[in-house]
Structure 1
Amino acid sequence: MDGTTEQKLHLGKHNGLKVFKHLTKSNDQLQTIQLISYKKTNSEDSSKSSSAENRSCMSVDNQPYGCNIRKQETNPQAVELPNIALRPGHSVRTDHSVNYLHDVNLTSSKETKAFRTKQNKVKNNNLLSDRKENVENKQDQNGDKTSKFSTKLKVPNLIRNRTADSNIPQARNTLSNRPGHERTTKGGKALAKTSVTRAERRDVTHRHVLDQPTHHKLELCDFVEQDIIGGDEVRTMGFGPTKITYLDYVASGRPLRSIENFIRQHVMPNYANTHTEVSYYAAQTTKFREEAREIIKESVHATENDAVIFCGSGSTSAFHKVIHAMDLKKSTYMLSPIVLLGPYEHHSNILPWIEIKAKVIHIKQTHEGLINLQHLEQELKDIQDGPKRTIIGSFSAASNVTGILTDTVAISKMMHKYGGLAFFDFACAAPYVEIDMNCVQDGPDAYKDAIFISTHKFLGGPQTPGILIAKKWVFRNQVPHGVGGGTVVFVRRQNHKYYAEPEHREEGGTPAIIESIRAGLVFKLKDTFTSQFIMERETEYFQQALSAWSKHPDLLILGCIKVERLPIFSLLFRNPHTGRLLHHDFVALVLNQLFGLQVRSGCACAALYGLELMGMSEEVAQRYEKFITESNRTADREKNSESNIESYDGLDNIIFKPGFVRLNLPFFASAKCINFIKKAILLMADHGWKLLPLFDFERKTGKWWYREEQTFQPDKSLKDINFTKGFSCMKSSSSQERYKDTNTPIFKRFPGLDYDEIIERATYILNDVSKPNQYDLSDQTLEYKGDADELRWFMLPSEAADIIHQREKEHQNEILSKTNDREEWRKKIDRSCVVPQWSSRTKDR
């Protein structure tokens, strides 16, 4: 055509296809760009594309930027894109926004329609080959198209059409935008809205994950175990170099190299503040963050009526957020709300309600340790007879002490039956169980009004925000919680308007951007495993540990063991000679020093539940409270007389505070790791008390330490970092050097670099401390008289030393009675009284 020029530019290659750019320029100065990829015909030709061209037009996953790569069923030889018209004077804007969280969303210029390309990032070769076969067999005889979800299911009547007379409130249970509910198409049009069961919906949403054989998920477990940052750490503890095993996932998860590498390589280079999408960096960052929100919504089966809000650093912030959202603090002209709490609530689910002057009712537990639904219903009936008040039921989905699971569906139905709101604390349960905000298959009243999630407890979750997921009708506040930038639509001198959408108005200021993106990734990892697989592994490990530990007479497992629960164990260790318990801080320290096990000691921020589990009445608890806080009670009251607050610092008897040792068994751990944990706990239960003379404690603070180290201190410090000449880290003396040229225990020379070595070394040490030693410990019982002796529930180091000496004395008398030759008796005594090297350092004891 006259006045028209054409130019063909080679851009690169994609999966064996050449990618060209056709540039057509006509007389009217309208430029048209068309991208076509031709099938590769010669391997030599494909290798001739220059590296510079590839670098300029290829993304990190070898996808050409600006290309919508679609599979053409009619003509697989070429892939053709829509024409992008550019007006005179406008430059070609190539959108480099490659989304690794969900899919790719490429938008052309304003003169053309937007188009999306779905990209599956599954790296498993078997899954890729399976999908290719499904695509080839995708067409039916009539030419109708069906999405990959329903094509792969091959389950008849999986998605049922919602009947016209359905009694499910549309405002509360609309599923139109939920993944898996409009996936089946006919002629390019979506079918009617559907409702499916929870398991079926999960199948639809994550069919590509569920299709994976079990051995693939087991391989993923092995990968994750090796992918943990610090998972292969070896530290020199009190008894030598020891491999670290982390068992405190109930408190916080561990970071993963793969997630952190992705964030460092793909998120941080494109990082910018949100609240704008004009610049590339800001647009890409905003896109990542909103994608994370969508991943979480999809994981918990949220609808358009549910708001996902990132807040703070855990579920505690989510509790405060929802309290402010309901305007409970400012309801001065209304009666205070009534809050019903479960028997095993975290302090974060108790204290906020108390501080807003709510009437708190604690629901009892059954003999099995479950929430007593009969008591709950009776309390709700009694509330109905009184004045009208806001009724809230706030329950833990799982106990962070025992792992006992809650029937959230039954509680939701009951709360809604009596006009209440159903809140659930998923801080402990979320990393393992399936979360369903709506539970449509269980009835119209089975939905949850709000849930609280601590994402940092997930695998890979450190440095993630807390998450509040709530129905939008819960947000009654006119002023957002934490007003600031990003919450307002318009501000003028005399007035301002806030956004109506909770997800905008409740995230004021610069949010935790990278943390939110990380949260989406850890949810994606959980959904890759699937809750079903995780719970199967959790149940298996729980039963293995239970069969090994429940038979030990001096190892007490708190909570009922006959109900469904997560593999969370809260343990008490009892000494058979004195009948007293081993102090929980001492047990945790020995498990750390001897076995490298990272566990938690104390009350796990669930003191009320702990008192119930340990059988401590309110009267006994008051005695302990008075004894622990008595020393500074008067001074502290005078100090805080103006504020009417009782707070206690500088306590003298904190050692008397009851507690337990908590650990959990990771679902991704290997069988060898689980066997090691079982053996370590049994050794501690059998012989742990024998190590007491090697440790000391401070009555005032309750801290324990290994005598050879004097005080237990981490050996890394931020003070070692220097930015004077760029960046340098002056490493402090290593833990190996701390024991150099000192009279240290001989068994420190035995490394524990793997599980077998640790058990072998521990057996040697525990056998060694059973021999007579020069402990030189004064009688510590003399320091505990009166109430101190009556309230002392833990065993003292001097008591353990006396028992060891007494047992050795009895052993010597037994030898003497059986031996008449005095010289032979001396030789036997000498052989049985080999004093370990560490016993010579007694002058500072």
Structure 2
Amino acid sequence: MDGTTEQKLHLGKHNGLKVFKHLTKSNDQLQTIQLISYKKTNSEDSSKSSSAENRSCMSVDNQPYGCNIRKQETNPQAVELPNIALRPGHSVRTDHSVNYLHDVNLTSSKETKAFRTKQNKVKNNNLLSDRKENVENKQDQNGDKTSKFSTKLKVPNLIRNRTADSNIPQARNTLSNRPGHERTTKGGKALAKTSVTRAERRDVTHRHVLDQPTHHKLELCDFVEQDIIGGDEVRTMGFGPTKITYLDYVASGRPLRSIENFIRQHVMPNYANTHTEVSYYAAQTTKFREEAREIIKESVHATENDAVIFCGSGSTSAFHKVIHAMDLKKSTYMLSPIVLLGPYEHHSNILPWIEIKAKVIHIKQTHEGLINLQHLEQELKDIQDGPKRTIIGSFSAASNVTGILTDTVAISKMMHKYGGLAFFDFACAAPYVEIDMNCVQDGPDAYKDAIFISTHKFLGGPQTPGILIAKKWVFRNQVPHGVGGGTVVFVRRQNHKYYAEPEHREEGGTPAIIESIRAGLVFKLKDTFTSQFIMERETEYFQQALSAWSKHPDLLILGCIKVERLPIFSLLFRNPHTGRLLHHDFVALVLNQLFGLQVRSGCACAALYGLELMGMSEEVAQRYEKFITESNRTADREKNSESNIESYDGLDNIIFKPGFVRLNLPFFASAKCINFIKKAILLMADHGWKLLPLFDFERKTGKWWYREEQTFQPDKSLKDINFTKGFSCMKSSSSQERYKDTNTPIFKRFPGLDYDEIIERATYILNDVSKPNQYDLSDQTLEYKGDADELRWFMLPSEAADIIHQREVQYVAPEKLPFMPVALSEKLNNKQNKRSS
């Protein structure tokens, strides 16, 4: 072709192959041809290339995990700022003088192996065996010889280059063809010039264009598991040194070294208040924060009609923000709103509506545990016959107790059909599922009016703000919520004017600046994985655990297990000898002390849903409320007259408050970790009750502790910090000292530094405590008479001692329990049906 020149661009190596991109230049117009050629490299070329790559990239402050920098020549008049990558070995462009959060690269690459620490190398060696174990688990379940997560890594047929010479319009066209993007992107032909605007660059760096192959995401899972701060922590518990495994991501995520390193090295040095952009630091900080807002908008498919507002520390603050924004508190001159709530709402989605005197209607659940859409529509029809009022449907996108997912599209359509607003609490679901504010592909009425997000629940999310994302028409208030600096356009002596834009007027005062920037990074990490990949992993792990646990006769899984749900398990453990349940706080403490599992016990701030799952009627709930809050102190006065024990906030029977143990399976966890969790829960279900004599509790407060440690207390304190001579942190008396005591029982010296050692030690201890004459207690049932005996649903330590010593104990039939959990009722019915058939 006349006037055409060809250029071959060397992109680097991939799996021992040299990768080239062929470019053609015609009439001063640069066009990219998506043609890749591979050439085999000999060992000499590979070593040279490898050494060159190692020289071109360097780690910052010699951090084992953190941001790497690739130096490039830049404009000498501009301030040189480093390229940023959250994955070791990755770098990005520095062709502009201001850092952009969009430049942070979370994709995986083979070059990262050169930057891994010793722990990473060990983990990398185990990666293939973990995948093989995943395949074997699948084969055991369904005999299938294939797996989504195959051990074979295929060379991708297309390497997308993110430099300025890429075919950006073609990438934008790809983006516009994805569901939910028709409203914000446009297709086009190749650019007629080599210069590309920053806005266009940011468009193509979004995850929807650069979806990574599955094996890259598996490597990223491996990296993230090692990148968690405290992820490799070993603490000395009641039974010896134990590797800690965190399973409470439903409550809060864990910080990542890479994100914290980026903030420490690139955000904090340039930190300033965002209420001005005249100075460099203020401009850079403002740029970071607004880019974080952009990243979140792109992630949730928001448009110019949607406002993203950082508020408070979780979704609770977002609820209060939207209530004020709608002027719902001004019920003196208007009818109070009608709020329809789902069956498994968090207290944050119940109490705020009650406190503004709204008429609250609870929508029932179906037999499968889903939101009953027929009941919802009937309630909406009935509302149409009454006076005109604001109608709001506020539903959890996923239950934080069972993980059951909500059909947000169907609910949005129904709410809008009858003139209502569709609000969704994404506190539990947001770290995992795809969020789409507008759902264009599902019809014009499928949009969401507002969603509430607790970013601290994301991986890397601690110290991030809550997020309210809402249609701008939702903001009806003339006075912002939390008036202060930054909310006003002009102030004079007798008047003032507020900003009209919600994103300005609703973030009064100095905002959580660094926290907001961190929120953008954690959303970028989630989008790098993609929700599809996360949900595939979560579904796989859920099925593995379900297959192992659902068959156990005394392990109860709350919620329907036949519907789509996140891998969140709320569990009850039943003792077959007494018929009573193991106290949830005791179970959580044993899982912590014996196995190192960090789980949560209680009602998970979803008490109404908990009552349904527990099968507890309103009358029984009233009995418990009266017994717990209106103390019957007659017996306690006689017992405590000499010891002068004070009641806990006027409550004497907190131990009777029902609850469950909740855990979730992290999608990035290895197969070995998941198998360890499955074994630990089964050991607890089989033999956990045998440890009851080793523990004691306080009836007033409901607290449990290991008898040999008296009370369970953390061993670190802020009081140990001293600034007299700069900074020093005096170490508290460590539990390691108790571990070294020669009087410590022999099984406590057994280390649990890895999963196999922990299981081996637990098996040894459970066999040891099963022997008679080891631990014996006086009869504690004598202390529980009248209502205390009728309402006692949990097993006592003395009852476990009686069973071990082969003494008779009272058995309570399921129908005689003060309440029967739905999971227990279903398990008994299934057992009866099998016998009948």
State the match for 1:3 in structure 2: 3
Does the C-alpha gap of structure 1 residues 444 and 223 become closer, same or farther in structure 2, counting only changes over 3 Å? same
Contact 1:498-1:505 within 8 A present in 2 as well: yes
Moved over 6 A (4+): 1-96, 104-180, 182-205, 632-648, 807-811, 824-845
State the match for 1:795 in structure 2: 795
CA separation in 2, counterparts of 1:208 and 1:827? 53
CA separation in 1, counterparts of 2:141 and 2:362? 63
Report the Cα offset of residue 215 of structure 1: 0.8
Contact 1:3-1:26 within 8 A present in 2 as well: yes
1:718-754 Cα offsets, whole Å, 9 max, x none, are 1111111111011111111134436322101100000
State the match for 2:830 in structure 1: 839
CA separation in 2, counterparts of 1:372 and 1:356? 26
What secondary structure sits across from 2:572 in the alignment?
strand
State the match for 1:440 in structure 2: 440
CA separation in 1, counterparts of 2:26 and 2:674? 72
CA separation in 1, counterparts of 2:818 and 2:647? 61
1:750-773 Cα offsets, whole Å, 9 max, x none, are 000000000000000000000012
What secondary structure sits across from 2:13 in the alignment?
strand
CA separation in 1, counterparts of 2:158 and 2:538? 29
CA separation in 2, counterparts of 1:366 and 1:832? 15
Deviates more, 1:626-635 or 1:447-456: 626-635
Contact 2:243-2:596 within 8 A present in 1 as well: yes
Contact 1:481-1:506 within 8 A present in 2 as well: yes
Deviates more, 1:826-835 or 1:786-795: 826-835
Report the Cα offset of residue 569 of structure 1: 0.2
Does the C-alpha gap of structure 1 residues 170 and 440 become closer, same or farther in structure 2, counting only changes over 3 Å? farther
Report the Cα offset of residue 630 of structure 1: 1.1
Contact 1:377-1:414 within 8 A present in 2 as well: yes
Report the Cα offset of residue 825 of structure 1: 42
CA separation in 2, counterparts of 1:163 and 1:832? 56
State the match for 1:572 in structure 2: 572
CA separation in 1, counterparts of 2:536 and 2:127? 23
What secondary structure sits across from 1:514 in the alignment?
helix
Report the Cα offset of residue 122 of structure 1: 24
Report the Cα offset of residue 316 of structure 1: 0.1
Report the Cα offset of residue 102 of structure 1: 1.1
Does the C-alpha gap of structure 1 residues 125 and 295 become closer, same or farther in structure 2, counting only changes over 3 Å? farther
State the match for 2:276 in structure 1: 276
1:292-348 Cα offsets, whole Å, 9 max, x none, are 000000000000000000000000000000000000001321110000000000000
CA separation in 1, counterparts of 2:67 and 2:538? 44
1:112-146 Cα offsets, whole Å, 9 max, x none, are 99999999999999999999999999999999999
Contact 1:228-1:255 within 8 A present in 2 as well: yes
Does the C-alpha gap of structure 1 residues 134 and 13 become closer, same or farther in structure 2, counting only changes over 3 Å? farther
CA separation in 2, counterparts of 1:462 and 1:80? 30
Contact 2:67-2:258 within 8 A present in 1 as well: no
1:445-466 Cα offsets, whole Å, 9 max, x none, are 0000000000000000000000
Contact 1:425-1:452 within 8 A present in 2 as well: yes
Q: Which is bigger in relative contact order (C-alpha 8 A, separation at least 6)?
A: 2
CA separation in 1, counterparts of 2:430 and 2:13? 43
What secondary structure sits across from 2:808 in the alignment?
helix
Report the Cα offset of residue 76 of structure 1: 21
Contact 2:88-2:115 within 8 A present in 1 as well: no
Contact 2:131-2:151 within 8 A present in 1 as well: no
What secondary structure sits across from 1:483 in the alignment?
coil
1:421-477 Cα offsets, whole Å, 9 max, x none, are 000000000000000000000000000000000000000000000000000000000
Contact 1:484-1:509 within 8 A present in 2 as well: yes
Count residues in correspondence: 833
Contact 1:168-1:443 within 8 A present in 2 as well: no
Deviates more, 1:72-81 or 1:585-594: 72-81
1:125-168 Cα offsets, whole Å, 9 max, x none, are 99999999999999999999999999999999999999999999
CA separation in 1, counterparts of 2:673 and 2:564? 23
1:507-548 Cα offsets, whole Å, 9 max, x none, are 000000000000000000000000000000000000000000
Contact 2:87-2:108 within 8 A present in 1 as well: no
Report the Cα offset of residue 494 of structure 1: 0.2
CA separation in 2, counterparts of 1:563 and 1:142? 19
CA separation in 2, counterparts of 1:205 and 1:29? 23
Report the Cα offset of residue 209 of structure 1: 6.3
What secondary structure sits across from 1:148 in the alignment?
coil
What secondary structure sits across from 1:307 in the alignment?
strand
1:549-575 Cα offsets, whole Å, 9 max, x none, are 000000000000000000000000000
Report 1:749-764 matches (<5 A).
749-764=749-764
What secondary structure sits across from 1:773 in the alignment?
coil
Contact 1:772-1:808 within 8 A present in 2 as well: no
Report the Cα offset of residue 781 of structure 1: 0.3
Contact 1:573-1:582 within 8 A present in 2 as well: yes
Does the C-alpha gap of structure 1 residues 424 and 725 become closer, same or farther in structure 2, counting only changes over 3 Å? same
1:224-274 Cα offsets, whole Å, 9 max, x none, are 000000000000000000000000000000000000000000000000000
CA separation in 2, counterparts of 1:21 and 1:200? 21
What secondary structure sits across from 1:58 in the alignment?
strand
Does the C-alpha gap of structure 1 residues 498 and 57 become closer, same or farther in structure 2, counting only changes over 3 Å? farther
Does the C-alpha gap of structure 1 residues 656 and 197 become closer, same or farther in structure 2, counting only changes over 3 Å? farther
Decide which structure has the larger Cα Rg and report it.
Answer: 1
Contact 1:197-1:440 within 8 A present in 2 as well: no
What secondary structure sits across from 1:693 in the alignment?
helix
Deviates more, 1:105-114 or 1:244-253: 105-114
CA separation in 2, counterparts of 1:715 and 1:842? 52
Does the C-alpha gap of structure 1 residues 383 and 728 become closer, same or farther in structure 2, counting only changes over 3 Å? same
Does the C-alpha gap of structure 1 residues 241 and 190 become closer, same or farther in structure 2, counting only changes over 3 Å? same
1:384-404 Cα offsets, whole Å, 9 max, x none, are 000000000000000000000
Deviates more, 1:543-552 or 1:80-89: 80-89
Deviates more, 1:109-118 or 1:315-324: 109-118
Contact 2:319-2:352 within 8 A present in 1 as well: yes
Contact 1:34-1:82 within 8 A present in 2 as well: no
Contact 2:602-2:658 within 8 A present in 1 as well: yes
Contact 2:68-2:89 within 8 A present in 1 as well: no
What secondary structure sits across from 1:627 in the alignment?
helix
Tell me if 1:540 matches 2:540.
yes
Report the Cα offset of residue 213 of structure 1: 1.6
Report the Cα offset of residue 98 of structure 1: 3.0
1:16-68 Cα offsets, whole Å, 9 max, x none, are 99999999999999999999999999999999999999999999999999999
What secondary structure sits across from 2:332 in the alignment?
coil
TM-score, length-normalised on structure 1? 0.74
Does the C-alpha gap of structure 1 residues 648 and 309 become closer, same or farther in structure 2, counting only changes over 3 Å? farther
Does the C-alpha gap of structure 1 residues 209 and 166 become closer, same or farther in structure 2, counting only changes over 3 Å? closer
Report the Cα offset of residue 484 of structure 1: 0.3
Contact 1:175-1:303 within 8 A present in 2 as well: no
Does the C-alpha gap of structure 1 residues 707 and 293 become closer, same or farther in structure 2, counting only changes over 3 Å? same
Report percent identity of matched pairs: 97
Contact 1:773-1:835 within 8 A present in 2 as well: no
Deviates more, 1:686-695 or 1:92-101: 92-101
Does the C-alpha gap of structure 1 residues 765 and 360 become closer, same or farther in structure 2, counting only changes over 3 Å? same
